[in-house]
Amino acid sequence: MNTMTTSILIIDDNVKWCKSLAQNFEPRGYQVSFTTSGAEALTYLADHPVQVILLDIMLGKENGLALLEEILLQHHQIPVIMITGFGSIDTAVQSLKLGAFDYMTKPLDIEELLRKIDLAASPNRHALLTDQSTRPNKHRTAQLITQNERMLELCQKAKKFAETDFPVFITGENGTGKEVIADFIHAHSSRASQGMLKINCAAFPETLLDNELFGHEKGAYTGADTSFKGVFERADRSSLFLDEIGDMPLTIQAKILRTLQSHEIRRLGGHKTITVDVRFIAASNKNIRKLLRENTFREDLFYRLDVATIHMPPLRERKEDIPLLARYFLAVYADMHATPPCELQEDVLKMFLQHTWPGNIRELKNTIHYAATLSTTGFISCHDLPPRFKQIEHHRGASNIREDMERNLILSTLKKTRYNKKKTAELLNMSRTTLYKKLERYGLSQTT
């Protein structure tokens, strides 16, 4: 069970409405903040971690769609749910074309909105793990959607770590699947029967993070009417995933180090120590060695963690996985909406392979979700993709035209030889090795 608190930013010029939403969300465990203008929102996002944004299309005199574009330009990894009071499908579709995750119309159905927020914030939006029915047979034992050698080796390394109780430290850019690997390690460990608990260290100010981790006794501070178990206690005999540990304050780092060494914690306001048996898994998207040089991360904690380390490669370094992941996300989308899965057109796949994917797997998942929502033909075409892909299409240039011609020539020759690759290579005056490389490059390797 994922107990990670979801942080929501509401952007609306109606303060009363913002407070009303917060009153609905906060008792259910959501962390809510709100701003009343675009400038205020961008300033807030620059300094605070946010998992989901609710943005009103009518933001006073400001254009909510223009603000959406600016947010996605600066913070493309944060899903944005648009709110409109007019029920205009044209406006809603326009927001989706710009890159919004979803939209809702006023008056809001709170339960439906919460469902969409949970979906937007879910780590499984960019999950690599899948079940036996959707995983390619070739790689079932890896339990990863991958044909990348580095990733397959990483999977085996993670399995070996799972057999121990060592702390595991996972690094990598945003969206590379750090939490998914943490789930994978826990699922293959002796603690798998107990659900792993998770907390995002960047989502809380210092005092709240201290409370979430270690709990408090009744009367520890004003408003502490009952005692509260922190995640260390609740994760006893299980695993605890601390995401973005590089954002953790030094004072909390010291307490984490003591817990790792002594297997004991003390609640806020408490006097007795409590023994905990917790498997510790941490992750960060930051350069920890740089933080060490800046004295913002404890050296002793780093060396305590630097026993079993895993670095998740960015998607741009495992491009052979892009077609597999894209088709998997199409299947997931189809399953969610009870529709037949869309198919990717070849020019879309080529564009995907050219893209650098700064948001990694999370960005790919969001792109597929966006395109599948807009597609009306059963195929994902270039016209269904977010606007940023238009720049890739515009800059394809003469070299890409040549590649298109070469691909068409190879395909027509294959058809003439009834897909006899030896004869095809001879007719094209190239070695079979060169032909196989070009078939792979142009997405024709599965042509029979």
Give the single-character DSSP code of 421: H
Evaluate whether 151 touches 321 at the Cβ level (below 8 Å). Answer: yes
63 three-class SS: strand
**What does residue 198 show for φ and ψ, rounded to 5 degrees?**
-140, 145
Tell me if 81 is assigned to some domain: yes
Evaluate whether 252 touches 213 at the Cβ level (below 8 Å). Answer: yes
| CATH code of 390's domain | 1.10.8.60
Report d(CA 389, CA 383) in Å as an integer: 9
Bridge partners of residue 35, in order along the sequence: 11
279 and 153: one domain?
yes
Tell me if 384 is assigned to some domain: yes
Bridge partners of residue 309, in order along the sequence: 169
Domain boundary among 312, 335, 358: 312
Report d(CA 160, CA 381) in Å as an integer: 42
Tell me if 230 is assigned to some domain: yes
Q: Is the peptide bond before 107 cis (omega within 30 degrees of 0)?
A: yes
285 and 158: one domain?
yes
Give the single-character DSSP code of 268: B
DSSP assignment of 285-322 equals SS-HHHHHHTT-S-HHHHHHHTTEEEEPPPGGG-GGGH
| CATH code of 197's domain | 3.40.50.300
Tell me if 182 is assigned to some domain: yes
298 and 346: one domain?
no
94 and 156: one domain?
no
Over the Cα atoms of the chain, what is R_g? 25
pLDDT mean by block of 10 residues, the chain; 448 residues: 73 92 90 93 91 90 86 84 68 71 81 86 49 34 67 90 94 92 91 91 90 92 88 95 95 96 94 95 93 95 92 92 89 85 89 90 93 90 86 54 73 83 89 85 62
| CATH code of 416's domain | 1.10.10
| CATH code of 12's domain | 3.40.50.2300
How much is the pLDDT for 144?
A: 65
Domain boundary among 103, 121, 139: 121
The pTM of this model reads 0.59
Q: How many domains does the chain have?
A: 4
Report d(CA 423, CA 429) in Å as an integer: 10
Structure tokens given for 207: 């005092």
20 three-class SS: helix
Tell me if 126 is assigned to some domain: no
How much is the pLDDT for 55?
A: 94
Domain range for residue 411? 397-441
Tell me if 134 is assigned to some domain: no
Report d(CA 25, CA 346) in Å as an integer: 43
How much is the pLDDT for 57?
A: 87
Evaluate whether 275 touches 264 at the Cβ level (below 8 Å). Answer: yes
299 and 347: one domain?
no
Domain boundary among 312, 335, 369: 312
108 and 179: one domain?
no
403 and 375: one domain?
no
403 and 383: one domain?
no
Report d(CA 318, CA 279) in Å as an integer: 30
Tell me if 130 is assigned to some domain: no
388 and 426: one domain?
no
367 and 388: one domain?
yes
Which residues have CB under 8 Å from 409's CB, separation 6+? Answer: 428
Bridge partners of residue 380, in order along the sequence: 344
Structure tokens given for 242: 């601390």
Report d(CA 424, CA 431) in Å as an integer: 10
How much is the pLDDT for 443?
A: 67
How much is the pLDDT for 86?
A: 52
Tell me if 38 is assigned to some domain: yes
107 and 206: one domain?
no
How much is the pLDDT for 90?
A: 60
160 and 254: one domain?
yes
Helices 149-162 + 178-187 axis angle, to 10? 50
